[in-house]
């Protein structure tokens, strides 16, 4: 596929309903993944600089830019996505049982650079998720795979730990790291699990042989964030944080959205602030994954300067298409490892 064809196809996608466009991309990537896999391998930046991070000592990242959770919820297309040039991919959020998520419509574009989603963990469930990883993993063995895990809608908050425990145990042989999602605004009550008590429960059931990262909300006040960061820092089983998830507060204040979380450029300053706060607390070898509104090479640099070890994108990929990887590759290649 030439760059012009890719641009044309991307423009076409932006004319469709946002969720229809996403489903179409996943379907095409799934159906034609091996064709695309081979074309992309030749066309996209290789970004093969390589770095290793202290907690991920067994892993080699070809670069520090990853795809954020929520794009490949079912671990169906990560092999093709890896060929775009990402250094790692976060798949999920997966829940133990499959679920259809919240009623549609539940994904809205706010051009030029924001999205609001109220998806509610629509996903294929743990057994299918594992099968997909088994099927596709061998094609991209060198690209670290993070599993983002969450609780089912119908699981009560008091039983939530059982969902996380089942996912941690069952997915251990399949992935390189876990991201514990306690911060989606689209599952009622989930964010109340962002507490020192629940982090203790997670630590009690977490495996010792894989890195565990905690994903937090930008809507927490700084005092709470600092408390949670301090606990992650003090708990041996935790290896760092992913900051941030989408913001319900910004969705309401900027777009009067009654539900859902905002992603994209308007989230960037708050995401940066959360990363900087984390860096003040989390000490070597704990790591920080910075995510939220990263849309340019300059943003990647800012995230890195604020203290992010790894950086992720999602919304910028939707608005700018795979071409954004080229732009970001220029700065990633210049970054010291």
Q: Which residues bind ligand FMN (CB under 6 A)?
A: 68-70, 73, 93, 107, 115, 117, 119, 121, 148, 181, 184, 215, 245-246, 263-264, 267, 291-294, 313-316
CB-based contact 93:181 (threshold 8 Å): yes
User: Edge to edge, what strands does the sheet with 114-117 contain?
Assistant: 107-110, 114-117, 261-264
User: At closest approach, how far in Å is the CB of 247 from ligand FMN?
Assistant: 9
Helix 126-136 to helix 160-171 angle (10° resolution) is 20
User: At closest approach, how far in Å is the CB of 160 from ligand FMN?
Assistant: 15
Q: Which position among 3, 52, 184, 263 bears the catalytic label?
A: 184
CB-based contact 138:81 (threshold 8 Å): no
Residues, the chain, total?
Answer: 337
User: At closest approach, how far in Å is the CB of 191 from ligand FMN?
Assistant: 12
User: At closest approach, how far in Å is the CB of 114 from ligand FMN?
Assistant: 8
User: Is residue 253 flagged as an active site residue?
Assistant: no
Vertex 149 angle, CA 147 and 155, to 5°:
160
SS3 assignment, position 183? coil
Task: Pick the closer one to ligand FMN by CB: 152 or 263.
Answer: 263
Task: Pick the closer one to ligand FMN by CB: 63 or 315.
Answer: 315
User: At closest approach, how far in Å is the CB of 102 from ligand FMN?
Assistant: 11
Task: Pick the closer one to ligand FMN by CB: 88 or 121.
Answer: 121
Burial 148-159 (b: 16+ CB within 10 A, else e): bbbbbbebeeee
List phi, psi (to 5°) of 44.
Answer: -90, 160
H-state helical runs in 176-286: 196-205, 222-234, 248-255, 268-281
Task: Pick the closer one to ligand FMN by CB: 132 or 148.
Answer: 148
CB-based contact 76:30 (threshold 8 Å): yes
Task: Pick the closer one to ligand FMN by CB: 211 or 293.
Answer: 293
- Where in the sequence numbering do the catalytic residues fall? 184
């Amino acid at each position: 596929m030439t760059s012009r064809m890719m641009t044309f196809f991307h423009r076409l996608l932006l004319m469709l309903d946002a969720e229809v466009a996403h489903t179409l991309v996943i379907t095409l990537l799934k159906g034609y993944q091996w064709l695309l896999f081979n074309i992309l391998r030749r066309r996209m930046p290789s970004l093969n600089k390589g770095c290793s991070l202290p907690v991920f000592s067994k892993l080699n990242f070809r670069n520090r830019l990853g795809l954020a959770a929520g794009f490949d919820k079912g671990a169906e297309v990560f092999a093709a996505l890896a060929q775009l040039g990402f250094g790692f991919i976060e798949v999920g959020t997966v829940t133990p049982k499959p679920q259809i998520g919240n009623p549609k419509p539940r994904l809205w574009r706010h051009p030029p650079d924001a999205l609001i989603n109220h998806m509610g963990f629509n996903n294929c469930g743990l057994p299918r998720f594992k099968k997909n990883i088994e099927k596709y993993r061998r094609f991209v063995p060198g690209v670290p795979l993070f599993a983002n895990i969450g609780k089912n809608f119908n699981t009560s908050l008091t039983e939530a730990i059982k969902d996380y425990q089942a996912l941690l145990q069952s997915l251990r042989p399949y992935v390189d790291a876990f991201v514990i999602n306690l911060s989606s605004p689209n599952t009622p009550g989930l964010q109340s699990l962002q507490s020192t008590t629940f982090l203790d429960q997670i630590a009690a059931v977490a495996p010792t042989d894989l890195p565990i990262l905690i994903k937090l909300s930008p809507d927490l006040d700084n005092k709470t964030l600092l408390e949670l960061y301090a606990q992650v820092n003090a708990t041996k089983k935790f290896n760092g944080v992913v900051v941030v998830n989408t913001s319900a507060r910004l969705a309401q204040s900027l777009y009067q959205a009654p539900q859902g979380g905002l992603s994209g450029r308007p989230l960037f300053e708050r995401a940066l602030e959360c990363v900087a706060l984390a860096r003040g607390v989390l000490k070597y070898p704990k790591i920080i994954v910075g995510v939220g509104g990263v849309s340019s090479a300059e943003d990647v640099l800012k995230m890195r300067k604020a203290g992010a070890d790894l950086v992720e994108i999602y919304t910028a990929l939707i608005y700018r298409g795979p071409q954004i990887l080229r732009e970001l590759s220029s700065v990633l290649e210049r970054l010291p490892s």
